[in-house]
Structure 1
């Protein structure tokens, strides 16, 4: 095969079965995973649970999941034969070695985890028909691709995290793309006249998937090829072939959007129009998937030398896999870069879809405040900067930079996002589904109005999560996981962002919420949280030991403050810089309180003008009735009447 993945090794040959079985099993595993994810995604986003198409899609997902389970096991087994060069045997020694491989080694464990997750997905798809449970199952199916993504080419040592992220995103969105089309082919009979509608929905998802596949592919190629000279190799040849296949797929995507859907709906022979492009697209997709499997078995041109194998590795290289960056200066926060592809894509798509929603409102004549658009774009830009600029570079070495990024993620960015009212925009701009299916609008509103979000978004609960997270995160193993592990780092960013969003939304949110307390209560909650935040900052300032000495204290850097002094600076940032957004929140709550009182006063004035101040007259009449009843009771009890209390005239 191209790249030498199936060629017999010069020194030791695992056998023709393993050499050819491994790429074939990997290809089947990829296609089965795609079928599972694609079918689930269509069921969750495009199909109606009230129609037979929904159950058929879940049956396809279940069968694909079962095939994924078997193919993942076969891939892991053939990988074992290739590495250990052991012929198949029924003796105990072979079984013990195979069990050790799947249970203990970093190459075998991912395939075992994938098998277990795929088997669980299969069971759920057979047994459950709840859209909410299936949405969670789709997330689990996407997560099942993560363990295997870490077993391919890791890129250069300094680019390991970026390479793993690019591989994972590439595999996930390729599965969405390929699997969606496979599901459409198998669902065509069940869809009937609804085929054009579901095709249109799939094409929108496929467009997003293509963009992510292309971008992640470029990032991955840049890491593994190293430079233009790397294209002159077997790996480069396979990569160029895959790029060509993706370009052909992009052409099919354009045909989908412009011509195919209309032809399927209007053509006298829709069957021919549908199959003519599906067969060709599946063929090209199969070629691209096969090339991807070949890339996984081909050595990349870029050198991949672990830090521990370097001649004289620095402590920082041993800990992070990358050399120390230049000496820190504040301006380097905007000049040094370490692209976080996940959050870069989230920020990019977030800004695009928000602007698209505003554009749709403007086209139909509806107004949308300009300041909300500016706030949202500002928040997305800040999210990109904090996760991919010098903040991402230096936070691994300086606790103070880490804390500054934390404050921006959890306090500054949420203010801009909450005031931009994204849920209100989505409810107004996204078209409502009337066929019983759940689109983006329906899912957003279902999540916002769910009882779980209602509990988490309650002001007291949100403030407790926001405040207690500081202690729970920094004084527990979570901090070490977030700093030393790439997956933990992504979780940290997500947690900071969501906890801050829930807290800010409970205080000054514009979007609908299950419950918002009175403004005096909001100010009390804010002041209590501010006090807790100040206490946390003081604990860092007065602390005499490092939170993570085996990391921040072992970098061996010769620039910047000493680790403990830098931690004190981080505490000062948490106390002082962190209070700036809190002060802004207090001002915003006070302004909203004042405006709310003004609106209530104007409402009452308009009501009084309409009904002749009926409310005030009714209130005065009630007082007069109470006074009359009181006078009657006093007279009956023998109290002197009002006339008897008058002073006699002279």
Structure 2
């Protein structure tokens, strides 16, 4: 605990030194907010980020690394004499030597304190943030009214207020954690607190606005998981006993992913804010170099953990000195990096994060430069850096291939055609979300419909045929100590009530077709065109809606019970008819969808918005029918194969029992004829 308690002073000291070096907390000539605000705001930010890290890291550790306490019926004391002797022996060995879930309970207590502390610190950060922006000291006449106006009328203030409200909800969820379900709920709400923080961390209208928001969210989330997970692990280590080696190993795996996330998002954020290598020579760049050095040192510590610390940890709950020699120093380095990060955020970067002037209407509305006029080649050469979907595509491809390789190493086989289908599906997803369909989909309705229909109709067929859930369940190792790993969470998701509801054939079909009406004939469509969060929501929703519907029809993976083949064909024909109707409706419309957006773009290479919408309707009709025809043929073939398997099974049964069922049926008919 000495190392953990020393982390906060280390973080604050690093922040103060960074601010003193850059001069970010120096008095201003005009509208100075005072020393309390200038120095208090970054210190409160350090404390807030520390509380956020402990909350998020602790929840992730509870969800994926620590064994949960057994159910009451599993801990009932045995009544036999021999059992009592065994119980007494275990008690003498020490409670910490058992997989009794004490560390999980301790982590839950830590999260129950850090969650509310995070919410309160965000409120203090909100008040100090207004004082800093307004350039006036705390208190004074009219301060409360001005603060209320800032929080309700100014975008930055509204984002801070939303952040505090979500944090308050998260704190309630953290206090109520009692099992895996409530822990997952608390984690989801807690990570949602970072969303408004990320949206205000990179000014709207600046270059690479979307990349900056995604990069900042990924950076904050990865840092919190990495640092907070280690802090909570250090707190719980004395209570882990024989589970320490397993818990440290699982945290190490989590830390590798967090390390990669911090590195990738850090490169993206630095590229946006530095502008050129010369930016490293500024105060901002020098502090960034110190932070990079801490990052490299932490990476080295992680390597030493995997190579030296984990193998030397005692499996019987013995001395943990080898763990503390490395983990304690690592906590302090992480704390120093956190303080430097806050000082860095308070220092002006070489590339000012202000809206770009002189933009065309299309650039203002889409928040992206206008690409050249579309040609066949440019559909495949124009790309946009999307950190979320680009990284997701890479991870999906690599992880699937790793699972296949794991099966082959232990002598199991996996169909090659499924691997090929998966790679093609991931490549298509990356192209649709980062390539020409997205580049031109921001400013052309026809390109948007190509993107949309590919996500909802074409790519899901490939993902379903690759059977990723079956592969994962075969490749991922299971756990028996009461903790949950990826395999246990995947099984829980497949068998969950939500999966049964959304996997219901009728619900999946209604969601599949109803989403089109709800999306395109409400403000949701324009929201997806004008905001990065709306675009992400559109891609995620329609990809999942298409996957769930196709999985009901031709799915291979385990999941909710699928309907009979006649009902599947009926659902498919109904959706085919609806897509045809929707496409014809778009072709026939004489008014623009999202008219305030598409009608005001003024593209330099000239586009008739209404004619382009008609083309989008034709794309909807064409792309909707071709995959549906493929699905219909696949269903017919699967139906025929199922009938053939059923016939063979009945023939084998008849051979075994000398056709007893048929003879019994004929005997029943003979009796009925005699009675008549």
**Shorter-chain TM-score: what band?**
over 0.9
Match of 1:207 in 2: 256
Deviations 1:7-41 (A, max 9, x none): 22233422211111111111111111010001111
**For 1:235-266, what per-residue CA distance to the aligned partner results, in whole angstroms no more than 9, with x for missing partners?**
22122221111111111111121211112226
Hey, what does 1:84 align to over in structure 2?
A: 134
- Of 623, 627, 642, 1:596 maps to 642
- Do the aligned partners of 1:334 and 1:389 also contact (CA within 8 Å) in 2? yes
Corresponding residue for 1:53? 103
Shift of 1:269: 7.1
Offset, 1:560: 4.9
Counterpart CA distance in 2 for 1:319 and 1:446 is 42
Q: Which residue in the other structure is 2:482 paired with?
A: 436
1:27 to 2:46 alignment: yes
Residues 178-222 of structure 1: per-residue CA shift (max 9 Å, x gap): 110011011112212211111111111110111111111111111
1:15 match? 34
Deviates more, 1:73-82 or 1:213-222: 73-82
240-249 or 104-113: bigger deviation: 104-113
Contact 2:208-2:272 at 8 Å conserved across structures: yes
Equivalent residue for 1:151, pick from 190, 200, 203: 200
User: What secondary structure does 1:107 align onto?
Assistant: helix
Give the Cα separation in 2 of the matches to 1:179 and 1:164: 22
The aligned counterpart of 1:335 is 381
* Alignment partner, residue 14 of structure 2: none
Listed one character per residue, the Cα deviations across residues 439-484 of structure 1 (whole Å, up to 9, x for unaligned) are 1111111111112211111111111110111111100111111111
- Larger displacement relative to structure 2 (410-419 or 344-353): 344-353
Shift of 1:173: 0.7
Mapped to 2, the partners of 1:155 and 1:568 lie a distance apart of 32
1:194 aligns with 2:243: yes
Higher relative contact order (CA closer than 8 Å, sequence separation 6+)? 2
Partner of 2:607: 561
Specify whether residues 330 and 267 from structure 1 end up closer, same or farther in structure 2 by C-alpha distance, changes over 3 A only.
same
TM alignment of 1:257-296, pairs within 5 A: 257-265=306-314, 270-296=319-345
Aligned partner of 1:185 in structure 2 is 234
Q: Distance in 2 between matches of 1:367 and 1:230?
A: 52
CA distance in 1: counterparts of 2:361 and 2:161, whole angstroms: 34
Alpha-carbon contact 1:333-1:391 (below 8 Å) kept: yes
Q: Are residue 70 (structure 1) and residue 110 (structure 2) matched?
A: no
Map residues 126-275 of structure 1 onto 2, 5 A cutoff: 126-154=175-203, 157-265=206-314, 270-275=319-324
Larger radius of gyration: 1
Distance 2:138 2:364 in 1: 39
Rounded to whole Å, the distance in 1 between the matches of 2:286 and 2:491 is 47
Q: Give the secondary structure class of the aligned counterpart of 2:293.
A: helix
Structure 2 residue corresponding to 1:618, chosen from 645, 648, 661: 661
Q: How many residue pairs end up in the alignment?
A: 626
Q: Is the 8 A contact 1:553 1:563 kept in 2?
A: yes
Q: Is the 8 A contact 1:155 1:224 kept in 2?
A: no
Cα separation, partners in 2 of 1:537 and 1:131, compared to 1, 3 Å:
same
The alpha-carbon distance between structure 1 residues 577 and 560, as it changes in their structure 2 partners (threshold 3 A), is farther
Cross-structure match for 1:402: 448
CA distance in 2, matches of 1:468, 1:76: 40
Partner Cα distance (2:317, 2:59) in 1: 31
Q: Which runs of 5+ in 1 are unaligned?
A: 635-650
Distance in 2 between the 1:271 and 1:235 partners? 40
Asked whether the 8 Å contact 2:122–2:164 carries over to 1, the reply is yes
Offset from partner CA, 1:285-329 (integer Å, 9 cap, x none): 11211121122111221244424xx2x432112223333211121
Aligned residue among 583, 602, 625 for 1:537: 583
- Mapped contact 1:156–1:302 kept (Cα < 8 A): no
Partner of 1:503: 549
Describe the superposition over 1:390-409 as per-residue Cα deviations: whole angstroms up to 9, x where unpaired. Answer: 22211111010100011111
Query: C-alpha distance in 1, partners of 2:107/2:382?
Result: 47
CA distance in structure 1 between the aligned counterparts of 2:315 and 2:639, rounded to whole angstroms: 57
Whether the 8 Å CA contact 1:62–1:121 is kept in 2: the answer is no
2:10 maps to: none
Is the contact between residue 588 and residue 614 of structure 2 (CA under 8 Å) also seen in structure 1? Answer: yes
Q: Which residue of 2 aligns with 1:646?
A: none
Cα distance, 1:619 vs. partner? 1.4
- Answer whether contact 1:399 1:570 (CA < 8 A) is retained: yes
Q: Is the CA contact 1:376–1:417 (under 8 Å) kept in the aligned structure 2?
A: yes
Gap regions ≥5 residues in structure 2: 1-18, 70-100
Alignment match, 1:324 = 370
- For the residues of structure 1 that align with 2:605 and 2:431, how far apart are their CA atoms? 23
